[in-house]
Amino acid sequence: MRLLPLGLFDKVKLGGTPMATNPNRWRTIDIVIASIIAVAFGVIFWAWGLLWNGPADAIPLPGRAVLYGMWLVPAVLGALIVRKPGAAFYTLTLASLVSVAIGTSWGWTLVVQGPLEALGAEVVFAAFAYKRYNLPTALLAGTAAGIVAAVYDAVVWYPETSWTSMRLPYIAITAVSALVIAGLGSVLLVRALAQTGVLDRFAAGRSRALV
Amino acid sequence: MTTFASPPVTNPSALLARRNPVAKLAAALLFSLPLLATLDPLTPAIALVVELTLLPLFGLRHAVLAKQVWPLLLAATGVLMTMVLFAADRSGTVLVGLGPFDVTTGVLNSALGLILRLFAIALPGVIVFATTDPTDLADALVQNAKAPARFAIGALAAFRLLPLLGAEWQMLTLARRARGVDTGVRGFPATAFALLVGALRRGTRLAVAMDARGFDSGVPRTYARRQVFTRADVALMAGAIGLAALILGTTITLGLFRSII
Amino acid sequence: MSTVVLRGFGWRHAGRRAWAVRDVDLRIEHGERVLLLGPSGAGKSTLLAALAGLLPDDSGEQAGTVEIDGRSPADARDHVGIVFQDPQTQLVMARSGDDVAFGLENRGVPAGTIWPRVSDALDRVGFPYPITRSTAALSGGEAQRLALAGVLALRPGLLLLDEPTANLDPVGAELVRDAITRARADDTTLILVEHRVAEALPLVDRVVVLEAGGGIRADGAPEMVFAAYGDRLADEGVWVPGFRVPALKSPAAAGNEVLRATEVSVANRLSGVSIGVGEGEVLAVTGPNGAGKSTLALVLGGLLAPSGGQVSAFGDPKPPHKWRAATLTTRIGSVFQNPEHQFVTSRVADELAVGPRRTGRTPAQIKEIVDSLLDRLRLTKLAAANPYTLSGGEARRLSVATALATAPRLLVLDEPTFGQDRRTWIELVTLLATLRDEGHAVVAVTHDDDFVQTLADRTFPLGSSRPGEPLPRRRRS
Ligand SMILES: Nc1ncnc2c1ncn2[C@@H]1O[C@H](COP(=O)(O)OP(=O)(O)OP(=O)(O)O)[C@@H](O)[C@H]1O
Ligand SMILES: Nc1ncnc2c1ncn2[C@@H]1O[C@H](COP(=O)(O)OP(=O)(O)OP(=O)(O)O)[C@@H](O)[C@H]1O
Ligand SMILES: [Mg+2]
Ligand SMILES: [Mg+2]
């Protein structure tokens, strides 16, 4: 029995010794850093949910979807830092699991929705053969995740609402929000993190001056 | 914030709380996911009754539950607002006349269905996570669900840092104050960024510490804490499917079931 | 069961120009017990990391070779156990017992023998709690014991210990040394890094001194090494046994009281303490692990609001924890127990400039302050480095320097001297003595007996006896 689609990562492992230098094999540090990003964003999701259902209630839907992009950041951020197959998927899936564990207002259907959104971003990185981690790819991945998320919401959470005045605008606004917050936001965040030296063991963080 | 991250406040020896974490997780999914397909209020209402009846078997106190469930109330008001503003079908008797936003019995019926469904789906998840220790869950995922050990343990090690983040936040605020930087609303983004940087830095060291103790050595891992998957666990999962089928069956036979598509 | 051979070994951390260690040729035989010495920043921790196979290719550049029983350290990892300088970063699992079991599971030890080995290891280090104790709730010293248990349980052939008693009270340090002595019986090769030589000597039969610029300064049986090179080693910063440090007691009695705390308490952490400190005096706060010393330091530093009692300072009607941050830094400077908790920038020089800038100094003044502190504490070469990449001793000195930079009238220091070699120790202590003689007040939490003997004008023991007023001034006879 297999509950989480984590099995994806089995295939990444090479048959031989673990020290085999397969560039796609996750190092311990890859796993831990992706997990920590996920845990941190699990908490941010929780806070964002309170914002969404609390103060932001003043902005009626679909307009409130401008905030949506935050829920997709870990997918892009995880991939930009780890740069391995499965990074987008693992990071966002775990982040949504963590947010479920600490209690969200959507209950734990996020266990289903998280991996679906994550696949949206993963597909984009896969389409570039896991070789491109630049701004355009990030924007595209963020948007893809946003569209998956919004379509899921439109079908599952907002059935019986009007397509023209609610569901289509909702999907469009979410996509733009994801492009800006998840796509652009992640690129900027990686840049800022690289400055602090915490990403020194990742390709994203090298190339600082010698001291 | 959560019972999952802090010591369980429940009675861990309760009949169903004792079950294998993976079985609990699977049972909760099997029970609640079919409910996603419904729009009528009756199906989730029956499910909720069933869930609340089973609650004592998980040894969960209602006070604990209430603490976990209150965010759902926020979401419920959101659903109500959305339906009033955007419901496509405004049939039925008009209760409050607001022109294009007429509140009709049809609108309220749909909203009620969605809200009840929200609770019915969320509750099993809340119950499972409140009665499950994260270490046990990771162990069971690896041993019984064949999740890759490195990822499950890595995630667990990161999850352990969660309660420490609060202490870290406090420490950062102190540090900034000691250095003459006032912390308030304006300092919030800087402190939050510093917290993320600190968490990642800890992660880097944690990874080294794990490697130092042979985490990535390629030797097949053994398990100090055995998680067993017994017949009772299978029964729990079968029971979940049975109950879900029974509930859907009831509303379908009564002709009250409305599907999402 | 391990023989270690290094040939021309060197390592340069990514992002650094200078080599952390260089030109090390060393052979350590199976079962030998070696004390590794050297000034702060000489590369001791780096060398241990190399032996444990924890310097991945992408984190720097290697020269020469390292072999453990003829294998590369990465391959020999299952025979090596290491305890890091900072034990808190070493704990992986949420419960103490699980944490000790973690290494055993990774090495595929049969499930049935794991728990007996866990409880045996915990007994050996005197870990006082049940195995379900949360690893997040341990004080610094307790975490150090747990980390050591996690490594002893693996029964490593090569045991690497980096300052294993730095944060321990004397009782704890004694216990850990006992545990190490007993591990010796299992014919383990041991490499121990410890600045305080006198305490470590009974555990070892060979001393290796690293040279700061590269190479090995001295190597041999302890008596031989210290007899032949004692004076020079002491000059270069090694705590050679028998070399005293000069006493720096205050010539004058304490002046006006600058701060007084009356019956302060913090729920669950500190109960009813009354303490005061005057201008021109150094007050040492001592006591066992977990007594509440760090908590008291935070309260006195105006960083934590006491849950009971009052603190008043500098004649201000408001208590320190209600002052504005900019006011606080000019009056009270704090140094935290963990230096890294204190850093707010990503450059050493910026770190020192933060305080003076907040208090409105001109750029020229700031530069002068920063440069002179860097120079006095031997950090000039690291001015542009990231504070989080410093060695243990360097990070400690930087954190003390940040508090000195605003020249506050009162300094509250939590373990200001741990991890220092003799030379930087004297530098630090002299700096504090100068400030004291200029009329500044100093409160120092410390486990360091030399510090108390040398500098403290009064001692305030917390926890062990009932907390009350300070003991009478302690004089060296
Ligand atoms: N991760 C790192 N990145 C860059 N430089 C580093 C890193 N770790 C250590 N260094 C540098 O390498 C040198 C040697 O450091 P190391 O920690 O090995 O010293 P040490 O002998 O253990 O000193 P101490 O007694 O102060 O702990 C120092 O100058 C330090 O700044
Ligand atoms: N943030 C915290 N929250 C709750 N309890 C704490 C916290 N920090 C410390 N404690 C507890 O308060 C007590 C006093 O801790 P404190 O850190 O002040 O001790 P200490 O005397 O400095 O010990 P050490 O010598 O090990 O540094 C300990 O029992 C500790 O477990
Ligand atoms: Mg060191
Ligand atoms: Mg302390």
Chains in contact with B, where contact means 3 or more Cβ–Cβ distances below 8 Å, are: A, C
Which ligand is closest to the CA of C49, given by its number?
1
- CB–CB of A206 and C385 under 8 A? no
Check if B221 contacts C (Cβ < 8 Å): yes
Provide the chain B residues 138-157 that lie in CB contact (below 8 A) with chain A.
141, 144-148, 150-152, 154-155, 157
Which ligand is closest to the CA of C335, given by its number?
4
Give residue B1's pLDDT.
33
DSSP state of C276: E
Which ligand is closest to the CA of C418, given by its number?
1
- Looking at chain C, the whole-number percentage of residues with pLDDT higher than 70 is 96
Ligand 1 centroid – CA C421 distance (Å):
14
DSSP state of C216: E
Mean pLDDT of A133-145: 95
Check if C14 contacts A (Cβ < 8 Å): yes
- CB–CB of B183 and C301 under 8 A? no
Whether the pLDDT of residue B10 is over 70: the answer is no
Residue C286: both structure tokens together: 């001592």
Mean pLDDT of A35-55: 84
Ligand 1 centroid – CA C385 distance (Å):
11
DSSP state of C146: H
Give SS3 for A120: helix
Residues with CB under 6 A from ligand 1: C 13, 15-16, 20, 38, 40-46, 85, 382, 389-394, 419
| A129 or A100, greater pLDDT | A129
Nearest to A92 by CA among A75, A105, A68: A75
Round to whole Å and give the CA distance between B142 and B75.
Answer: 34
Cβ atoms of residues B210 and B1 within 8 Å: no
Round to whole Å and give the CA distance between B84 and B106.
Answer: 10
Cβ atoms of residues A79 and B140 within 8 Å: no
Give residue A117's pLDDT.
94
Give residue C263's pLDDT.
92
Within C153-245, residue ranges assigned H as helices are 170-184, 197-200, 222-236
Give residue A208's pLDDT.
54
**Nearest Cα residue to atom 18 of ligand 2:** C292
Check if A195 contacts C (Cβ < 8 Å): yes
Residue C317: both structure tokens together: 């009607």
Q: Which of C17, C75, C346 sits opposite A195 (nearest CB)?
A: C346
Give, rounded to a whole angstrom, the gap between the first and last alpha carbons of chain B: 36
Please state which of the ranges B19-23, C71-75, C173-177, C346-350 shows the lowest mean pLDDT: C173-177
The string of DSSP codes covering C52-89 is TT---GGGEEEEEEEEETTB-TTTTGGGEEEE-SSGGG
Tell me the shortest Cα–Cα distance from A147 to chain B, in angstroms.
Answer: 20
pLDDT tens for B20-76 read 999 998 999 899 888 888 888 889 999 999 988 888 888 877 777 777 777 778 778
Check if C58 contacts A (Cβ < 8 Å): yes
> For residue A62, what pLDDT band results from cuts at 50, 70 and 90?
confident
Whether the pLDDT of residue A78 is over 70: the answer is yes
Q: Which of A50, A160, A196 sits opposite B71 (nearest CB)?
A: A50
Residues forming beta bridges with residue A90, ordered by sequence position: none
Task: Share the mean pLDDT of chain C.
Answer: 87
Whether the pLDDT of residue A153 is over 60: the answer is yes
Whether the pLDDT of residue B16 is over 90: the answer is no
Give residue A211's pLDDT.
62
Tell me the shortest Cα–Cα distance from C47 to chain B, in angstroms.
Answer: 14
Q: Which of B5, B193, B202 sits opposite A102 (nearest CB)?
A: B5
Indicate the top mutation candidate among C21, C22, C46 to test ligand 1's pocket, ranked by most ligand atoms within 8 A of CB: C46
Chain B residues with CB under 8 Å of A158 CB are: 82, 86
* Nearest chain C residue to A29, by CA: C56
Check if A210 contacts C (Cβ < 8 Å): yes
- CB–CB of B126 and A107 under 8 A? yes
Nearest to C410 by CA among C338, C292, C315: C315
Task: Share the mean pLDDT of chain B.
Answer: 82
Chain B residues with CB under 8 Å of A163 CB are: 88
Which ligand is closest to the CA of C211, given by its number?
1
Whether the pLDDT of residue A15 is over 50: the answer is no
- Looking at chain B, the whole-number percentage of residues with pLDDT higher than 70 is 90
pTM of the model: 0.84
Round to whole Å and give the CA distance between C442 and C283.
Answer: 6
> What ipTM does this complex have?
0.84
- CB–CB of B78 and A29 under 8 A? no
Cβ atoms of residues C446 and C415 within 8 Å: yes
- Looking at chain A, the whole-number percentage of residues with pLDDT higher than 70 is 83
pLDDT tens for A20-30 read 467 889 999 99
Chain B residues with CB under 8 Å of A173 CB are: none
What element of type H or E holds C294?
Answer: helix C293-300
Give residue B183's pLDDT.
64
Chain C residues with CB under 8 Å of A211 CB are: 15-17, 382-386
Chain A residues with CB under 8 Å of B74 CB are: 50, 53-54, 105
Whether the pLDDT of residue A5 is over 50: the answer is no
Give residue A105's pLDDT.
64
Core vs surface per residue B186-216: b (16+ CB within 10 A) or e: ebeeebeebbbbbbbbbbbbbbbbbbbbbbb
Whether the pLDDT of residue C1 is over 70: the answer is no
Nearest to C295 by CA among C327, C258, C263, C337: C337
Residue with tokens 């097949």: B220
What element of type H or E holds A114?
Answer: helix A110-127
Ligand 2 centroid – CA C326 distance (Å):
27
Residues with CB under 6 A from ligand 2: B 167; C 137, 139-141, 268-269, 287, 289-295, 337
Give residue B164's pLDDT.
79
Nearest to C16 by CA among C451, C385, C475: C385
pLDDT tens for C122-161 read 988 878 888 988 888 787 778 888 999 999 999 899 999 9
**Omega before A62 cis (within 30°)?**
yes
Beta pairing class for C441-445 and C410-414: parallel
Indicate the top mutation candidate among C139, C341, C448 to test ligand 2's pocket, ranked by most ligand atoms within 8 A of CB: C139
Query: Could you tell me how far CA B94 lies from the centroid of its own chain?
Result: 37
> For residue C334, what pLDDT band results from cuts at 50, 70 and 90?
very high
Contacts of B85 (CB under 8 A, 6+ apart): A60, A61, A166, B101
- CB–CB of A28 and B210 under 8 A? yes
**Ligand 2 nearest atom to the CA of residue C298, by list position:** 18
Which one of A32, A43, A80 makes the best mutation probe of the B interface by having the most chain B beta carbons within 10 Å?
A: A32
What element of type H or E holds C50?
Answer: helix C44-51
Within chain B, residue ranges assigned H as helices are 21-32, 42-54, 62-86, 105-130, 134-143, 149-178, 188-212, 231-253
Whether the pLDDT of residue A19 is over 60: the answer is no
Mean pLDDT of A180-187: 95
* Nearest chain C residue to B179, by CA: C355
Whether the pLDDT of residue C337 is over 90: the answer is no
- CB–CB of B125 and A107 under 8 A? yes
Whether the pLDDT of residue A4 is over 50: the answer is no
| B10 or C73, greater pLDDT | C73
How many pairs of residues across B and C have Cβ atoms under 8 Å apart?
A: 142
Whether the pLDDT of residue A200 is over 90: the answer is no
| A54 or B172, greater pLDDT | B172
pLDDT tens for B209-218 read 999 998 987 8
Check if B246 contacts A (Cβ < 8 Å): no
Chain B residues with CB under 8 Å of A102 CB are: 1-2, 4-5, 162
DSSP strands (E only) in A18-168:
none
Residue B3: both structure tokens together: 């019972």
Mean pLDDT of A106-133: 89
Chain A residues with CB under 8 Å of B26 CB are: 1, 3
Give residue C467's pLDDT.
36
Residues forming beta bridges with residue C5, ordered by sequence position: C27, C67
pLDDT tens for B103-148 read 777 778 888 888 888 888 888 888 888 888 889 999 999 999 989 9
- CB–CB of B158 and A160 under 8 A? no
- The edge-to-edge listing of strands for the beta sheet with C308-313 is C270-278, C257-266, C308-313
Chain B residues with CB under 8 Å of C343 CB are: 175
Cβ atoms of residues B257 and B251 within 8 Å: yes
In this structure, the number of other CB atoms found within 10 A of the CB of residue C119 comes to 15
Whether the pLDDT of residue C465 is over 60: the answer is no
Mean pLDDT of C29-53: 92
Ligand 2 centroid – CA C337 distance (Å):
11
Which ligand is closest to the CA of C265, given by its number?
2
Rounded to 5 degrees, what are φ and ψ at C25?
-115, 120
Please state which of the ranges A193-197, C178-182, C284-288, C419-423 shows the lowest mean pLDDT: C178-182
pLDDT tens for C393-442 read 899 999 999 999 988 999 999 999 988 888 889 989 998 999 999 999 99
Nearest to A30 by CA among B213, C49, A188, A22: A22
Give residue C74's pLDDT.
86
- CB–CB of B123 and A107 under 8 A? yes
Contacts of C24 (CB under 8 A, 6+ apart): C6, C8, C9, C10, C47, C64, C210, C214, C215, C216
Ligand 1 centroid – CA C58 distance (Å):
17
> For residue C469, what pLDDT band results from cuts at 50, 70 and 90?
very low
- CB–CB of A210 and C56 under 8 A? no
Chain A residues with CB under 8 Å of B215 CB are: 28
Indicate the top mutation candidate among C176, C269, C448 to test ligand 2's pocket, ranked by most ligand atoms within 8 A of CB: C269
> For residue B9, what pLDDT band results from cuts at 50, 70 and 90?
low
Whether the pLDDT of residue C198 is over 90: the answer is no
What element of type H or E holds C112?
Answer: helix C111-124
- The edge-to-edge listing of strands for the beta sheet with C4-13 is C21-28, C4-13, C60-68
Give residue B184's pLDDT.
63
Whether the pLDDT of residue A197 is over 50: the answer is yes
What element of type H or E holds C461?
Answer: strand C458-461
